[in-house]
Chains A and B, each alone.
Chain A
Amino acid sequence: MRKFWKAFAFVEDVTSGGLLFLGVTIIFYGVIMRYVFNDARSWVDEVSQYMIIWGTLIGTSVALRNDHHIKVDMLFNAFPNRVKYFVTLFAHTVGVGFGIFLLYYGGGLVKFTYMSGQLSTDVGIPLYKVYSILPLMGFLLALRFLVKLFETFKDNGQQWEVLKAESKVDLR
């Protein structure tokens, strides 16, 4: 099971980082083509944006795993431990809810654009493919929040306390 999550994290890191890097590279290619070869490529903007957005939206789950989504800790820190435990359960549940919202209604958007057959403006990529990142992101976030929920929940918050004390502060 441990191995599975490690591999899962690896795939997440590589796809999100890889897509972002690819998008950045395409923008660079566009600049070179325009100024060195005087040949503007119209597809560059659209394709690079889609790639970077795909990368960063898959990355929301990476950032969640690394605790990079900024939270306000001031009231939380003032709570007694038992309350902290329940508040954490609540916060993760809200997170799961957000993921399910994206999964369900993002899926709805994919279905809608599939039926209507809309294409992107410059390159003509079917929009349902582009928008399929939304349910995917929802799935990843919901899964990640469920894992967090489970970890908090499993031994009634005992081990969680230890982990919480050891974990570093959120950066950025």
Chain B
Amino acid sequence: MTVVLLFGLFIAFFLLNVPIAISLAISTIVVIATTENFNMIMLTQRMFAGLNSAPLMAIPGFVFAGVLMARGGVSKYLIESLRSWIGHLPGGLSVVTILSCMIFAAISGSSPATAAAIGAIMLPALIEGGYPKRYAMGLIAASGTLGILIPPSIPLIVFGVTSDVSIGKLFMAGIIPGLLLGTVLLVSAIIYAKKNNYGRGRKYTMSERWKASLKAVPAALLPVLILGSIYTGVCTPTESAVIAVFYTIVASIFIYKELHWKDVRPVLVDTINTTSMIFLIISAAMLFALFLTNNQVPNHVAKWISDSDLNKWAFFLVVNIMFFVMGTFLEAVSIILITLPILLPIIKHLGIDPIHFAIVMTVNMELAMITPPVGLNLFVVSSMAKEPLGEVIRGVLPFIFIMLAMLAAFIFFPEISLFLPNTFMK
């Protein structure tokens, strides 16, 4: 009963424009204060304790690295080099867009950051190359979502911390699905461009190509450094995030010479804006989780599930519909934190591998980034292109269908997600 009250309050608050994190915190505080005999002082302690975990420190690290990448010229030279090789082919510019999103995704753990960094350069380039603006916007919003599937990934870090699954394994599980989804996007982009004869950029000379590629080498090494340092066992994901930060700082100052003193404050503020937003949600969700365990909600749910004979596929269907609906108005981290404590016992009971589930959930969260009314990538692209949200939504629609098809594939073939972690991390 109190659970219903809590959810009711939470929904009422966020519909009335209270920030999501504060809606979650306040509704939990109100419910606990009125229905339970709980020391309010310990609630604040809990908010702090929820953040006090070493794996979570990877989030500021990867956010920071992403901000630096976008500002310090690293992403610019990466794109320029890809463009010099394939920009002149049919569909070349859209291929460049998707490939650079994939590489950026292997450095940053956030989708809107990926869409913003690549879109800032590729959106004008695509339009100049003759692509319809609507398609260009949809392409960037959609391929930007790869940011959270291809490791590193902020939602996977949050998933790992909440469910006690190794973040290294989760990252590894995201690699094949990420590459597959990227490939499908590439194929669709090439077919589309060929049909309409779009996107022949200028052809570069061989010497220009080598010059551009040489400049991109330090940037291209970064994903190798991040994943390599995690999988050789040298570093935790948190430490590899921090190494990425310092590597990018050194590269932007000494190689690209694009980071100056005047950039220090904007870079720090960008990092703080995103990290603090996420951390406040996590901290608020800790109160919510406390409430759930106090009321033994996960236990009740687990019991209810084992009494009913829900099968695995029905569960996937229900959960995916739920994620899709929640994803239209909430963002990834809050969805994971609100639903996972309740879903974990069910997953265990049905014998679903949590790593497989994490990937399915992440693809759902990608969809959440591009489904209206609240889709962070839509916001990023619409404010970047100075076009109304509706226009971006029309552009992104075909990509939503592609991603739904891939989501089904990832659900029915767990091996796609599990092959790498099972082979290399046993």
Contacts and interface: CB of A to CB of B under 8 A. Distances in A.
Interface string A24-43: 10011011000100000000
Interface in A50-89: 50, 52-53, 55-57, 59-60, 62-64, 66, 68-76, 87-88
Interface stretch (B177-185, B186-194, B263-271): B263-271
Contacts of B382: 169
Contact of B374 (A74, A108, A130): A74
A57 B279 contact: yes
A149 B90 CA distance: 54
Contacts of A94: 13, 16, 18, 22-23, 26
Contacts of A134: 44, 47-48
Contacts of B14: 71-72
A71 B44 contact: no
Contacts of B416: none
A13 B193 CA distance: 45
B40 interface: yes
B45 interface: yes
A66 to B, nearest CB: 5
B26 A31 contact: no
Contacts of A55: 60, 272
A161 interface: no
B110 A172 contact: yes
Interface in B240-295: 242-243, 245-246, 265, 268-269, 271-277, 279-281
B20 A63 contact: no
A162 B239 CA distance: 45
A8 interface: no
Nearest to B275: A56
Nearest to A103: B44
A172 B269 CA distance: 13
Contacts of A91: 16-18
A171 B112 contact: yes
B18 A24 contact: no
Interface of B is mostly: helix
Most chain A CB within a 10 A radius of its CB, from B19, B21, B43:
B19
A31 B397 CA distance: 45
B268 A17 contact: yes
Interface in A76-132: 76, 87-88, 90-91, 94-95, 97-98, 101-102, 105-106, 108-109, 112, 130-131
B41 A112 contact: yes
Contact of B383 (A62, A88, A169): A169
Contacts of A24: 60-61, 64, 242, 245
B2 interface: no
Which has the most chain A C-beta neighbours within 10 Å: B16, B47, B243? B16
A23 B276 contact: no
B18 A95 contact: yes
B273 A63 contact: yes
B15 to A, nearest CB: 5
Given A98-B26, A168-B383, A172-B113, A13 B41 contact: no
Contacts of B22: 69, 94-95, 98
B249 to A, nearest CB: 10
B263 to A, nearest CB: 12
B380 to A, nearest CB: 6
A53 B275 contact: no
A88 B40 CA distance: 27
B239 A71 contact: no
13 contacts: A27-B238, A28-B239, A28-B243, A59-B273, A59-B275, A63-B274, A63-B276, A64-B19, A88-B17, A95-B19, A97-B26, A112-B41, A134-B44
Given A24-B60, A72-B330, A172-B110, 9 more contacts: A17-B271, A24-B242, A27-B239, A56-B276, A69-B22, A71-B18, A91-B18, A94-B23, A131-B44
A-B pairs with the 5 shortest C-beta distances? Answer: A17-B268, A59-B276, A69-B19, A59-B272, A74-B373
